[in-house]
Structure formats: structure tokens, C-alpha cells
Structure 1
Amino acid sequence: MLAEICGIDFKKQMVLRIGLAASEDTFCLSQARERLRMKTVIVVHGGAWAIPDMLAEASVAGVKTAARAGDAVLKNGGSAVDAVEKAVRYLEDDPAFDAGHGAVLNINGEVELDSIIMDGKTLATGAVASVRNIANPVSLARAVMQKTDHVMLTDRGASMFAERIGIPVADDLVTELERKDWELSNSYKDGVKTLFNTQWGHDTVGAVALDSLGNVACATSTGGIRNKMVGRVGDTPIIGSGGYADNRSGAVSCTGHGESILKVTLARLILFHMEQGKSATVAADASLQYMGERVKGCGGAIVVSSSGDWAANFTTERMAWASLKENVLHYGLNPKEDFTEMLK
């Protein structure tokens, strides 16, 4: 009766109210999801060693470019795994770094590349070692992770797998400068530690990232150290040493004297300290200090926690690094350096 008096169609009114409520719920859910989205982070490094002045500018420029490339992936909704692969591919394509197109030569004058990538969500991991003719071993490592039941492939087996899945062979990985430097050094008699701590050394590249869904990942890639023995594999492709990623703690990519990093499983050691409540910086510092005291090794690490805390620490003369979080680009080369740029 009231509806007839007032001229109100209650069925239409209820439909309208339900529609408005649904719209409000959708809006609130969208806002909640937006609030729950993590602030993305990416950190990259170009190797911890005695970087000579002639490579300093190129090294810093390279890590900044790689950080921007990885950040673009994250901003477009890409995963942490996508971001670290993209960043490391940029570094592998840059001849200023010892990975891919900038790889150093072993004692026989040959390229031998190692790489690892790890997904912190599932602990899925892929790695390759002693690869000779692949420009982007990080992508081959990801293929091992996603297309095989294994974690690591080496040398001939890795090359056979790359051929089977259509990854092209690269015959132009050695620069003219590297060939000249190799001919000058031409001896392993000083050992990797001595070479590593001089400008004859050369080292690893890597990246860690946190994506908007709260997943972390790491990737590390290297050509090793000049004049290494044929078949020598350092820390880079070894899970827990050259890199590790776990959503329950964070992600790490290591760089430095590979034999020392292997002995203390540096990446996993850093995350152990973080699991005990230490910040990324404190955990990295404590672990690098322990490595120095216990096995006399120097190195560096980049770290990101599952909450977005990040660090770039090293005990060598220099390490080129860069990070991007909330459009703020941090970067450095020398100890205690932390320059910033605001990106649009």
C-alpha cells in the first residue's frame, strides 16, 4: 500500500541498492588489494673487486641501466624472476662486466660461463656451469629451472640443452681488450686470490628483486676469473653460495672470491642472519666479516628482504651497484658511497 501511495517500485529500489552495494564492495576490494601490493625493489651489482678507474664510469652506468630495466619489468606487473633475468641480461650484454659479452678467459684462452636464477616463492632454481658459447647464460639457467627436472647442467650437457631449445650460439663473447689482457697475464701462478685483489681480476654480476605480490628472486652470472683452471667453477651457480631466494626471508646475490664464498655458503649465511631478526645491511656486514676472518676472503653481496629492506655491501676496494625503489635510484662504487637520483 505504501509503495502505491508513494509511487515507489520496491523491486527496482532493491535492485538499485544491491547494485550500489556491489559497486562499493568492488571499489573497497580494489583499494584493499592496492594497499596490499608491495612496493617493488630491485638491486643489482657489477662485481666486487679492484675495479680500475678506466672501467669505473662504465661500471656505474651499466648497473644503473640494468636497475632501470629490471624496475620497468616490476612496474609493468612482471615477476621478481622476470626482473632479475632482465637486469642480468643487460649486464651480460655489456662488455664492461665479466659475464656474457665481457667474459674473461681461462688458462687455455677459452670462455667458461656460470649462472644461477632462483624463485623465492617456490624455491625453484636453475643453474649452468662452464658454458662456452651462450651470450646470456642467465636465460639458459632459467630454462633449466622451467623446462627440466634438474637444477644444474654443465659444459657439454648445457650446450646440448641450449641447442635443443633453440638458444643461439654466440661466437663474439671475447673483447679485444680481454684478449690483450689475457696475453699479458698468461699465468695462474699467483693464484685466484692475488689476481682477484688486483686490477687483473674481474668478477660477477647479479640482481635481486621484490615484486608487487611479495615474491623475491635472485640471479647471478659470471665468466669467472682470468686464467682460472679449465673446468673451475666458483660460487656463482651453486645454490646457497652465489645466490639464494626464499620468500620467508629474502634474496641475495653474491660476488667476490668464489672459493671463499663457497666455503661459508655466503648467500644462505646472510639470510640465516636475517631470519634471526637482523636487517639486510647488518646481516650482509656480519657475513662478509665472518668470511674475511674465517677464510680470509673478500667479496660483496646485494640483498632484499621480503619486506623491502635492501642492502649493497662489500669488503673489496670497489663494487658497482644500483637499486631502485619508489622511483628513487641509489648507486655507488666506492666504500660508503650512496648517491641518489629521483626518477620521473
Structure 2
Amino acid sequence: MVRKPVIVVHGGAWAIPDDLAESSKIGVKNAAKCGFSILASGGSSMQAVESAVRMLEDNPVFDAGHGAVLNANGDVELDAIIMDGKNLAVGAVSCIKNIANPVMFARTVMEKTPHSMLTGAGANTFAERMNIDKVPTDELVTENATKEWEKYQLYKQSVTSLFNTEKMHDTVGAVAIDSEGNLSCGTSTGGITNKMVGRVGDSPIVGSGAYADNFCGAVSTTGHGESIMKVTLARLVLFNMQRGETPQNAADHALEYMKNRVHGSGGLIVVSKSGEWAARFSTKRMAWASAENNLLTYGLNPGETFQETLDP
């Protein structure tokens, strides 16, 4: 049975400031168009997701890849995951350094090793063996990220004082279904400013930062990582869908549960095995976009939806 291809992307759920609002919308729109062009030409959901997330990683507006932030030691540690709903194959990386496109590396882990996740120095060693290009740290960090980190050092402000608020930059992600009905998801993050060295959030964790299963749907999450991990948010959304809920209701109920149970906020994108999708969040803003048929839909603020016709 031929399915209607759909892709949905997000650029992170947080209190996006007004000076980043327009560039955030443009960024997710372009990523959705990029991924959908692959789907429209018969490409796989895996390739569409990877390409869309890579585009977001290459955009310094977002906290992933080239928009990464600095940890407590003034260094960059990156996390990412990609998952294939056809056979539940997954590749993830955490605490990696000097790699511009962690989602591409995560796919390499999935396809070139018997493992699901590599971390730290061992992961970087494997990246060298696979001839994945290294980039200098300063190429991945924006001037604003450096100033933000310096402010923490100046005032000796602990990350815990802002940790579960909406002031932190966040994650990027994508979910897609292709014409063959295969689902995929991907999530990537550049971390939290001044976080402890070695801290890993939800993004690369199966069932928390992302999950894809052809029998149900695909999800990519964003928000307070510790809260998302405690409720395994991505898998919780799919569990709700398996009980008969629509993607929107499943997402809303999962976010509500996380808020009530562990006082966490965040957002997510989801697409079902039939191509229904939703983009939902409990933070002030989340940049998101979807593409299907000849229609591009996107938003930033709660209850806000815009639509444009896609070029043929």
C-alpha cells in the first residue's frame, strides 16, 4: 500500500526570544522542505530525517551542531539519535566532540557497528576510523553562546538555577513516513549552557528523545531532558496512540502527564503509521514545520499555524 509521505521537524521547545523568532521559523521551514523533497522523489524516511536534521545542525540559530553551547569547562559535548521504524534499528551518540553533524554519525553507528550507542572518547575514536570530518570547537559555537557561558562564569551561576525553566536553548528533530509506509525519527542537541561535564540528556536515549515503530508511529521530543527521561516521553506518546488516541491527543496527554508527575515542560512532533501528525508543546514557543502533498504548515507560538503552498 502506497502511503502519503509526510515529514515534521522541530527546532526546540523553549522561550525563543523575539530576535530569533523569524530565523527559527525560516530554519524549520527550510529543513521540512529539504526532507520532503527526498520523500517526494521516492526517497526513504531515514534519508529524509537525516537530511532535515543535518540542515538544522548546520544552522547556528539552533542548539545542535553549529549552534552548540558550552559546558562547565567551556567545551562542547554533542548528542544525537536516529531510529528506523521498520526493524527498530537505532544509532545514538553522546558526549562527542568536534563533529558538525552528530545525526550522521549516529546513523553510522547504527549501520556500521553491532551497537546502538557510542559515547565519549570511544565514539570519537570510531568517528576517526570512519573518516568523519572533525571541526574545531570554535566553529560550532556562536558568539552568543560564548557570551552566555561567560555570564555564568562571571556570576558563578549554577546550571541548576535555570535547569528546568524555558530559558535554555534546546534540541532539533524530525520524524517522517515515506511512500512505503516506513517511519523514521532523529533528534540532535548541542547541550545546555554550563552543564556538568559528561551530562547526557534525553536526546540520544531510545524511547525518551526519540522512538520510531512502523506498527504505530515516530516521535522526536524536546525540552527538559531529565523530565523527559523520567517519563520516557517519546514512547509514552506512542503508548497513548496504541490505546486509540489521535497523535494530537496522545501528545497533549503525554506532556500533561510529564508536567503533573515531574513538573517538566517540553514539546514534541509525532507522525502516525497512517500519516497523521501533530506538533505540540508546553513551553512558551516551539519552532516547527511539516510538509505533505503540496502544503507546508508551520508555527512558533501556541495555537499559531501558517500554511504555504510548496513549489512543485
Q: TM-score, normalised by structure 1?
A: 0.88
CA–CA distance in structure 1, aligned partners of residues 227 and 163 of structure 2: 14
Determine if contact 2:164/2:264 at 8 Å carries over to the other structure.
no
Unmatched 5+ residue regions in structure 1? 1-35
CA–CA distance in structure 1, aligned partners of residues 83 and 255 of structure 2: 22
Match of 1:274 among 221, 228, 241: 241
Amino acid at match of 1:191: T
CA–CA distance in structure 2, aligned partners of residues 255 and 50 of structure 1: 12
Match of 2:288 among 321, 332, 341: 321
Show the counterpart of 1:156.
Answer: 121
Q: 1:184 offset after TM fit, Å?
A: 1.2
CA–CA distance in structure 2, aligned partners of residues 164 and 52 of structure 1: 40
Q: 1:197 offset after TM fit, Å?
A: 2.4
Amino acid at match of 2:186: A
Match of 1:83 among 48, 51, 67: 48
CA–CA distance in structure 2, aligned partners of residues 210 and 190 of structure 1: 37
Q: Render the CA deviation track for 1:229-273: whole Å, top value 9, x for unaligned.
A: 000000000000000000000000000000000000000000000
Q: 1:190 offset after TM fit, Å?
A: 5.0
Q: Which has the larger radius of gyration?
A: 1
Q: Judge which range, 74-83 or 114-123, deviates more.
A: 74-83
Amino acid at match of 2:68: A
Amino acid at match of 2:19: M
Q: 1:196 offset after TM fit, Å?
A: 5.0
Q: 1:327 offset after TM fit, Å?
A: 1.3
Taking structure 1 as reference, are residues 138 and 190 closer, same or farther at Cα in structure 2, changes over 3 Å only? Answer: closer
Determine if contact 1:196/1:225 at 8 Å carries over to the other structure.
no
Q: Render the CA deviation track for 1:129-149: whole Å, top value 9, x for unaligned.
A: 001110000000000000000
Q: 1:38 offset after TM fit, Å?
A: 0.7
Show the counterpart of 1:235.
Answer: 202
Q: 1:188 offset after TM fit, Å?
A: 4.8
Q: Judge which range, 77-86 or 175-184, deviates more.
A: 175-184
- 2:186 is paired with a residue whose SS is strand
CA–CA distance in structure 2, aligned partners of residues 190 and 322 of structure 1: 30
Show the counterpart of 2:274.
Answer: 307
Show the counterpart of 2:66.
Answer: 101
Matches within 5 A, 1:47-196: 47-171=12-136, 172-186=139-153, 187-189=156-158, 191=160, 194-195=162-163
Show the counterpart of 1:222.
Answer: 189
Q: Render the CA deviation track for 1:66-112: whole Å, top value 9, x for unaligned.
A: 00000011011111110000000000000000000000111111100
Determine if contact 1:119/1:245 at 8 Å carries over to the other structure.
yes
Taking structure 1 as reference, are residues 170 and 330 closer, same or farther at Cα in structure 2, changes over 3 Å only? Answer: same
CA–CA distance in structure 1, aligned partners of residues 42 and 51 of structure 2: 14
Q: Whose helix proportion is higher, 1 or 2?
A: 1
Does the alignment pair 1:247 with 2:214?
yes
CA–CA distance in structure 2, aligned partners of residues 44 and 245 of structure 1: 14
Determine if contact 1:207/1:220 at 8 Å carries over to the other structure.
yes
Show the counterpart of 2:4.
Answer: 39
Determine if contact 2:83/2:185 at 8 Å carries over to the other structure.
yes
Structure with bigger RCO (C-alpha 8 Å, 6+ apart):
2
Q: 1:185 offset after TM fit, Å?
A: 2.5
Give the 4+ runs in structure 1 shifted more than 3 A: none
Taking structure 1 as reference, are residues 188 and 230 closer, same or farther at Cα in structure 2, changes over 3 Å only? Answer: farther
Q: 1:52 offset after TM fit, Å?
A: 0.7
Q: Number of residues paired by the alignment?
A: 307
Determine if contact 2:218/2:271 at 8 Å carries over to the other structure.
yes
Amino acid at match of 2:158: K
CA–CA distance in structure 1, aligned partners of residues 99 and 297 of structure 2: 31
Taking structure 1 as reference, are residues 71 and 164 closer, same or farther at Cα in structure 2, changes over 3 Å only? Answer: same
Does the alignment pair 1:342 with 2:309?
yes
CA–CA distance in structure 2, aligned partners of residues 228 and 258 of structure 1: 12
Determine if contact 1:100/1:134 at 8 Å carries over to the other structure.
yes
Determine if contact 1:105/1:111 at 8 Å carries over to the other structure.
yes
Taking structure 1 as reference, are residues 196 and 92 closer, same or farther at Cα in structure 2, changes over 3 Å only? Answer: farther
Determine if contact 1:107/1:188 at 8 Å carries over to the other structure.
no
Show the counterpart of 1:331.
Answer: 298
CA–CA distance in structure 1, aligned partners of residues 267 and 133 of structure 2: 32
CA–CA distance in structure 1, aligned partners of residues 70 and 166 of structure 2: 16
Q: Judge which range, 44-53 or 173-182, deviates more.
A: 173-182
CA–CA distance in structure 2, aligned partners of residues 168 and 125 of structure 1: 22
Determine if contact 2:164/2:265 at 8 Å carries over to the other structure.
no
